[in-house]
Amino acid sequence: MNTGVELHDSRVADVVREGDDLRILFRPAYVHRSDGVPGSDSGWGFLQPVEFRFQDATCSAMGECLGAVSDGVVVAAGVEYSNLVPMPLAADGTASARIEFASGGILIVSAEGFSCAATGEPDPNFKERYEA
């Protein structure tokens, strides 16, 4: 099954600097799973903890950059992922992100590598079907 993180409907719990890396912790992320293209084809939606990690990163934050995400885009290895990021994903080379929050805050990241991975199991109390 194919999996992707929908930025809209996800929540950022923390943004952590770890040496030269920047970790964005989604608690929870809204995760799509589908036999086809997640978010486009019929499938399932879950809530799950997820981490975006940017290697050798710089970032700027305008306003409150925690809580509900309203929109976003990640560019990794020359591919633009608008609002839906494949998971798992690991990409070397130039990466960037712009994450917009319901609060009006905007987080902008530039990096030299990106990864997206689940950090825990899906919430057993939430699972919804979506039809394309």
Q: What are the residue boundaries of the structural domains of the chain, listed by start?
A: 2-123
* CB contact at 8 A, 17 and 67: no
Closest Cα to residue 115, out of 51, 48, 72? 51
- Tens of pLDDT, residue by residue over 25-67, are 999 999 999 999 998 899 999 999 999 999 999 999 999 999 9
pTM listed for this prediction:
0.96
- Supply the pLDDT for residue 95: 98
CB contact at 8 A, 125 and 85: no
Cα distance between residue 32 and residue 98, in whole Å: 20
Tokens 């699972």 locate to 127
Residue 3: both structure tokens together: 């999996």
